[in-house]
A and B are shown apart, each in its own frame.
Chain A
Amino acid sequence: MSVFRFSRKQLGIPYALFLMFFVVAPLLVIIYYAFTNGEGRFTLDNLSGFFTDPNTIGTLFYSFALAIVTTAVCLIIAYPIAYVLARSNMRHKSVIVMIFVLPMWINFTLRITALKEILTVIEGNLAFHPFLNSVIGMCYDFLPFMILPMYTTLMKLDGTLLEAANDLGASPLQTFLKVTLPLSVPGIVSGIVMVLLPSMTNYVVLDMLYNSTYIMGSLIGSYFAAYDWHNGSMISLILLLIILIFTLFTNQYEDDTNARGGAIL
């Protein structure tokens, strides 16, 4: 048995701690600033301002587009790798998995700096393809987060189910589509959650790869740099709500599939 046996719940612990110390506690302060103006009086202007300004809505759109494309690319790259790793009979699987996780141990800014040079060699000039570069940078950064949960789920997949499908006359493709894929959905969902949400706000990648367009993270940062804590807090709050809704939705989906997995077994 592998020493690296994460379950999705364990993967959630750092995030839960993060939530407690860095979101829940300052949340009240954020709410206070979000619903007050410069004079400390209650106002909804910050809220309505967000939804009426084409630039803030545009930023939300751009962040979503970037995050969704990043997640899709990560998924397409990561699933086959996770599948091959989990289903193969290699003896030192854990070492191979470690190699995939290894990039995470190298400082993130160093990695992106290296990537910058590589992309410059390939493209000639980084500034010609800002969106593409951002997607590549994000994927480079978040790929391990996509591989790990899917690998774990596929590892736990009961081999007897596959044998049964085979015995009952399913072709390999049918086995994959009808058994493996549905059973790996929880891992896919975890992976998506871990990649989609951070990539909406990770503006350091964009800054380092010279994408001059703001995403949500940089927008909030720029409001705070301009001493406008009220609008900055409101945008943080809206982003938090989006994340919350998304998390609730995926949690429900995971529970659903877990229940179904249990029923099959």
Chain B
Amino acid sequence: MLRGIFKKLGIGLSALAVATGVAANYKTVNITAKSEEVIKLRICNWEEYIDLGGWDEEELIELDNGISILGEQTMMDDFCDWYYDTYGKRVEIEYSCFGTNEDLYNQLNLGDTYDLVCPSEYMIMKLIAEDRLQPLSEGFFDESNEYNYYINGVSPFIREAFETNEIDGKRWADYAAGFMWGVTGILYNPDEMEASDAADWNVFNNPEYYRRITIKDNVRDSYFGAVGALKRDMLMSDEFVNAPDYRERLAEEMNDVSPETIEAAQNLLQDMKDNVYAFETDSGKADIVSGKIAANYQWSGDAVYAMDLAEEDDVYLEFAVPEECTNLWFDGWVMLKSGIAGDAEKQHAAEAFINFLSMPENAVRNMYYIGYTSVISGGDDDTVYQYLNWCYAAEDEEEDTIEYPVGFFFTGDNADEDYVLVTAEDQGRRQLYAQYPPQEVLNRSAIMQYFDEDASKATNKMWINVRCYNIKDVALSTWLCIAAVICFIFAIVMKIRSGRYRE
């Protein structure tokens, strides 16, 4: 893969940014415009989650349909130019970043105002439930408007997910436009780990990989993995898998927050804590490439990124999706009521920004730059599929090839012969598998719902219990040692004091 040096730099920088802490990771890019009548758009996005341009010329992506793609300036700059050319108005973007959904939520509560933000699905649900989001306008869904790239280009698979999921009777689709999506799984080094071991949520508790695997440092992902491991036998039983309402029941089981499940998950995670290398957010990618660990819990997009990075060092990593179940997640753009504040011009610009990102060429730019999978399939435009071909199609001399259908994503029909990639055999376990998981993987996926306040409290408490040192774990011998040391110090102090009086 032809990913540039830029990415290498990026992974280092983002690792550093995470390490330096919560408050420090704040970058602002100001794009100033000269015209006086400017629309000011405040956007807050994940770090390293949009094309920031500056590609080398050799990174030019030349697709078979004649389109060439090169990210020269940032997506935000390109948008401002495009908006001026298309609508004749100047837009100024104030771009900032957040590190976690919780950070974003806290920032909003502390009074930071943004017009457009890009949280994950559960945070979108929370914001919808709290009535903080501005619904997308009717015009945004008008398929006859050629500038409505989102609604004309979004994958039918994603569209269905956004239209069928709701909270308090409000559909996601009315408030949120998808940006990136993916699943969770295990990124592993096939030289050190069996594929069958990696495809099992119990891998974190597998003594064979003692201190050589990392798990995610956040309660939701870890809880999901623990529940999958706990319910493995049930989730994989024929009776369960073949039930007519399998998907609904799977979603229900994976979102189980009953006290018994939470307690069992706590015990399991405590065991896992003593078996894993670390709880990490960002460092796992670098650690698996450098060989410190054999596997790590990973989001599909980061897995692609890590696999690309490892290839440069001649390390060939693979991605496995656990057999029990996987977490299907989305990040999407939503407008905040507090930011838009009824300003129609601003809302228009915000929606245009979503549409601009949904232009097939721009979707490809973002995918190339960040490694995640765009929700855009392109509709009538085949640029995105051509990009897949450009990335993954088998070379002519390749002998070991497989047919890899991705029709479910592009047309909704996985049997569609126009969307079957002929790719190298190992891509069925590597980047392509992570970026566009096959339909049978998505069949065993569940969306992790937003937990209500009581359930959030219970799971957060569980998480703290997992991570804290329990005073009851202190052995009697340790207490005796402490007592001895205290007595010793006390004796010395007394001796010094008595000596002093003698003087």
Contact = CB atoms under 8 A, between A and B. Distances in A.
Interface of A: 54-59, 61-62, 109, 112-113, 120, 125-128, 182, 204, 207-208, 210, 212-214, 218-219, 221-228, 260
Given A212-B279, A227-B105, A228-B460, A109 B20 contact: yes
A128 B465 CA distance: 21
A127 B277 contact: yes
A182 B473 CA distance: 39
Interface residues on B, range: 35 or more
Given A125-B212, A210-B277, A212-B279, A59 B468 contact: yes
Interface in B1-59: 16, 19-22
B464 A55 contact: yes
Contacts of B456: 226-227
A55 B102 contact: no
Interface in B259-285: 273, 276-280
Nearest to B291: A120
B132 to A, nearest CB: 14
A57 B464 contact: no
Contacts of A219: 464, 468
Contact of B471 (A54, A109, A125, A228): A54
Interface string B92-130: 000000001011011001000000000000000000000
Given A127-B278, A128-B211, A225-B102, A58 B468 contact: yes
Contacts of B273: 212
A199 B474 CA distance: 21
A57 B212 CA distance: 30
Contact of A62 (B16, B22, B469): B469
A58 B473 contact: yes
A58 B471 contact: yes
Contacts of B181: none
B210 to A, nearest CB: 9
A162 B391 CA distance: 78
B19 A109 contact: yes
Interface of B: 16, 19-22, 100, 102-103, 105-106, 109, 211-212, 219, 273, 276-280, 292, 456-457, 460, 463-465, 467-474, 496, 500
Contacts of B22: 221
A259 B169 CA distance: 74
A199 B273 CA distance: 23
Contact of A56 (B106, B276, B280, B468): B468
A125 B292 CA distance: 7
A213 B277 contact: no
A223 B464 contact: yes
A89 B292 CA distance: 47
B470 A222 contact: no
A54 B292 contact: no
A208 B16 CA distance: 10
28 contacts: A54-B470, A54-B472, A58-B469, A58-B471, A58-B472, A62-B468, A112-B19, A113-B19, A120-B292, A125-B211, A126-B278, A127-B277, A128-B211, A204-B19, A210-B277, A210-B280, A212-B273, A212-B279, A213-B468, A218-B467, A219-B468, A222-B460, A222-B463, A223-B464, A226-B456, A226-B457, A227-B105, A260-B500
Contacts of B219: 226
A208 B473 CA distance: 25
Given A58-B472, A128-B211, A222-B464, 13 more contacts: A54-B471, A62-B469, A109-B19, A113-B19, A125-B211, A126-B277, A127-B276, A207-B19, A210-B280, A212-B276, A212-B278, A225-B102, A227-B105
Nearest to B280: A210
A226 B460 contact: yes
Contacts of A223: 464
B278 A227 contact: no
A222 B473 contact: no
Q: Which of B20, B292, B457, B473 has most chain A Cβ within 10 Å?
A: B292
Q: Which 3 A-B pairs have the closest CB atoms?
A: A210-B278, A58-B471, A55-B468
A10 to B, nearest CB: 28
A123 to B, nearest CB: 11
A19 B103 CA distance: 25
A225 B211 contact: no
Nearest to B18: A207
Nearest to A57: B471
Contacts of B467: 212-214, 218, 222
Given A227-B102, A227-B105, A214 B471 contact: no
A224 B19 CA distance: 18
- Residue among A127, A221, A227 with the most chain B CB within 10 A? A127
Contacts of B16: 109
A120 B472 CA distance: 31
A207 B463 CA distance: 16
B102 A61 contact: no
A160 B420 CA distance: 91
Contact of A204 (B21, B470, B496): B21
A61 B471 contact: yes
Contacts of A126: 277-278, 292
A227 B103 CA distance: 10
B387 to A, nearest CB: 35
Contacts of B292: 120, 125-126
Contacts of A55: 464-465, 468-471
Contacts of A56: 468
Nearest to B453: A38
B19 A59 contact: no
B139 to A, nearest CB: 35
A112 B20 CA distance: 11
Nearest to B211: A127
Nearest to A63: B469
A173 to B, nearest CB: 15
Contacts of B276: 127, 212
Contacts of A210: 277-278, 280
B196 to A, nearest CB: 24
Contacts of B212: 125
Contacts of A260: 500
Nearest to A112: B19
A147 to B, nearest CB: 23
